[in-house]
Amino acid sequence: MSSSPITSKDFKTPCYLYDMDLLVRTLDAIKAETAGYDNYHVHYAIKANANPKVLSCIAAAGLGADCVSGGEIEAALRTGYSASDIVFAGVGKADWEIQFALEKGIGMFNVESIEELEVINEMARKLQQRARVSFRINPNVGAHTHEHITTGKAENKFGIDKEDMTKVIRMAETMPLIDFTGLHFHIGSQLLQMDDFEALCIRINELQDELDSEGIYAPNINVGGGLGIDYEQPDKHPIPNFKAYFDTFKRGLQLRQGQQLHFELGRAIVAQMGTLLTRVLYVKHGKQKQFVIVDAGFTDLIRPALYGAHHAIQNYTAEKELSNPNSSDSSCSEICSKRATAVTYDVVGPICESSDVFAKDLSLPETRRGDLIAIRSAGAYGETMASQYNCRPLPQAHTTDE
Ligand code: LLP
């Protein structure tokens, strides 16, 4: 990646920088791959990145929203998503969130338990509003990803057991203000193997056969999100392989006449457009290791500490100096020759916990105090998962079109 547009601006660090051009190109790729299917509906999973400019840009591209809280529904409505394109998931919807969603007339609830169905029914009755309800079915399909972000196994807290599917639909049919709108699934996140989605398709086909035999028609099938991205080589694969993803469902699912197919993509849309910019505070020469101590910590990006996640890291300042060897600076050749020597560092943050590590044994050009460091592929589950632990301020965010 060219570092010049970034290093030429003097950002206060740590901060996120969102590449709006890449976001638009990613959305264009989704549009191109779904253009042939008028029954495909892509909802953006707001939990991945709720920056207002990012949200507006995605809404302007015509996507719906996948929300998991009243706050996310508010954010979606504020940034241009129409209520009817909002789907609302979550195992623990609070009463005020259900009421708010009913009052706003959202597209559908993805209901995760009988207990929740009963509360929605009761609230719909009080408000005299109809509620459109899909059931999240736990398909008991394993996914090849980190155990913290797999969701479709029987032991996970999500969804309704597939054995209870018919029972809950029959129950919904007895509730006068509940409209049964379909089935919802989500098996996990950061999935790179299409076999996982193929397994989901097979399971959905089986469940649909069961519905047929009961004479039940599900107008909507929602397959959730989960498409992964290349954290190792963000510049080689800035846009995920949407073609392979959508083709998998096209080939694998036996949709019934008129059925609408919904997707809830988060990471695949926003991860690669985000970079966490941070500056080197100190280069500490320990007994066994050299540490690059940066001003970002797990309060700004928790993924490495929480999931052992890998993010590519670059020293933009050193890269810039190395790419300009003929700079007018007389000491440049000396600097450059030192810079060109790769050194192995642990890149760590300032938080008082030993898990505050972005990378271990990473080879970087010789690194100095004040250097601008880029932590790549941080557009998804970065800013939205930030915290104020240690009384640290939340990270700021900028977009490249500012
Ligand atoms: N739909 C549902 C019901 C979900 O639970 C999720 C993500 C998505 C859609 C969007 O999934 P995506 O397309 O982004 O994979 N914080 C973790 C990821 C947690 C994902 C939670 N659910 C991480 O940083 O890897």
Q: Is the CB of 225 under 6 A from ligand 1?
A: yes
Shared domain check, 282 and 260: no
- In sequence order, what E strands does 32-177 have? 40-45, 64-67, 86-88, 108-111, 131-138, 160-161
The fraction of the chain above a pLDDT of 90, given in percent, is 86
Length of the chain: 402
Position 10 in a domain: no
**d(CA 266, ligand 1 centre) in Å:** 6
Output the CA 321–ligand 1 centroid distance in Å. 38
Residue 14 lies in a domain: no
Terminal-to-terminal C-alpha distance of the chain: 20
Q: Are residues 355 and 384 in the same domain?
A: yes
Predicted pLDDT of residue 334 = 65
Clarify whether residues 197 and 278 are in a common domain. Answer: no
Residue 4 is predicted with a pLDDT of 44
Q: Looking at the structure, do residues 75 and 120 belong to the same domain, yes or no?
A: yes
Residue 48 Cβ < 6 Å to ligand 1: yes
Looking from the CA of residue 45, the nearest atom of ligand 1 is 10
Q: Is residue 16 part of a domain?
A: no
Q: What pLDDT does residue 297 have?
A: 98
Contact assessment for residue 53 and residue 318, using Cβ atoms and an 8 Å cutoff: no
Which residue has the CA at smallest separation from atom 6 of ligand 1?
A: 225
- Tell which atom from ligand 1 comes closest to the C-alpha of 303: 24
Residues 204 and 74 in one domain: yes
Pocket flag, ligand 1, residue 184 (CB < 6 Å) = no
Which letter, b or e, does each residue of 94-122 get, where b requires 16 or more Cβ atoms within 10 Å of its Cβ? eeebbbbbbebebbbbbbbbeebbeebbe
Candidate of 44, 46, 47 to mutate for ligand 1, largest count of ligand atoms within 8 Å of Cβ: 47
Alpha-carbon distance of 38 to 260, in angstroms, equals 9
Residue 226, ligand 1, Cβ within 6 A: yes
Among candidate residues 248, 270, 292, the one where a domain is terminated? 270
Tens of pLDDT along 1-17? 444 445 557 889 999 99
Contact present, 313 and 278 (Cβ < 8 Å): no
Q: Would you say the CB of residue 383 lies under 6 angstroms from ligand 1? A: no
Domain count for the chain: 2
CATH number at residue 37: 3.20.20.10
Flag whether 34 is in a domain.
yes
Using the atom order of ligand 1, give the atom closest to the CA of residue 380.
Answer: 24
Q: Which helix (H) or strand (E) holds 22?
A: helix 20-34
| Residues in CB range of 81: below 8 A, 6 or more apart | 55, 59, 63, 64, 65
Residue 290 · residue 283 · CB < 8 Å: yes
Q: Are residues 288 and 186 in the same domain?
A: no
Establish whether residue 265 lines the binding site of ligand 1, counting it when its CB lies within 6 angstroms of any ligand atom. yes
In the reported structure, the alpha carbon of residue 225 is separated from the centroid of ligand 1 by a whole-number distance in angstroms of 7
Atom of ligand 1 nearest to the CA of 188: 15
Q: Which of 244, 270, 296 is the last residue in one of the domains?
A: 270
Q: Which domain holds residue 384?
A: 274-399
Nearest CA to ligand 1 atom 24: 381
Q: Are residues 264 and 296 in the same domain?
A: no
Q: Are residues 200 and 114 in the same domain?
A: yes
For the CA of 224, the nearest atom of ligand 1: 1
Whether 5 is covered by a domain: the verdict is: no
- Nearest-CA residue for atom 8 of ligand 1: 225
Q: Do 92 and 232 belong together in one domain?
A: yes
Whether 149 is covered by a domain: the verdict is yes
**CATH code of the domain containing 370:** 2.40.37.10
Same domain, 318 and 246: no
**89 Cβ closer than 6 Å to some ligand 1 atom:** yes
The answer to whether residue 312 sits within a structural domain is yes
Q: Given this model, what pLDDT does residue 2 score?
A: 43
- Give me ligand 1 centre to Cα 281, in Å: 33
pLDDT confidence of residue 7: 55
In 3-91 the beta strands, taken as DSSP E runs, fall at 15-18, 40-45, 64-67, 86-88
Ligand 1 in reach of 145 Cβ (< 6 A): no
| Residues 40, 164 within the same domain | yes
Residue 359: per-residue pLDDT: 98
Whether 76 lines ligand 1, by a CB cut-off of 6 Å, is no
CA 265 / ligand 1 centre spacing (Å): 8
User: 154 lies in a domain?
Assistant: yes
Q: How far is the CA of 269 from the centre of ligand 1 (A)?
A: 12
Domain boundary among 214, 236, 270: 270
* Cα→Cα distances 217→204, 255, 394, Å: 13, 11, 47
* Probe target for ligand 1 pocket from 136, 144, 145, 189, with the most ligand atoms within 8 Å of CB: 189
- Collect the ranges in the chain with pLDDT lower than 50: 1-5
> Are residue 265 and residue 279 in the same domain, yes or no?
no
